[in-house]
Amino acid sequence: MALYESEHTKFMREWLEKHPEERIEQQKGRALWWDKAPRPLAAMKETEAATVPSKAYYYDAN
C-alpha cells in the first residue's frame, strides 16, 4: 500500500532538488522567526523585576 503524496508536496520536493540554494534561505527564515537563543539570566531577572503585577479584577478602578 503506497502512501499518498499531494501534488504540492511532489512539486516542492522536485523544486527543492533543482534549487538547493533555497534550503539555506529556508534555514535563515526559520532562524529569524522560530529559533530563538536562550536569554541571559541577567536579562530575565531584569524583565521580571520590571513586571507590574496585574489586579485580580482588571476593570476595577480602585
* DSSP letter assigned to residue 34: T
Query: In the prediction, which pLDDT does 62 show?
Result: 67
Q: What is the length of the chain?
A: 62
**What are 21-35's pLDDT values in tens digits?**
999 999 888 888 877
Through-space distance between the first and last CA atoms of the chain, rounded to whole angstroms: 67
Query: In the prediction, which pLDDT does 1 show?
Result: 54
Query: In the prediction, which pLDDT does 23 show?
Result: 92
Quote the pTM value: 0.46
Query: In the prediction, which pLDDT does 59 show?
Result: 81
Low-confidence stretches of the chain (pLDDT beneath 50): none
> Rounded CA gap, 42 and 40, in Å?
5
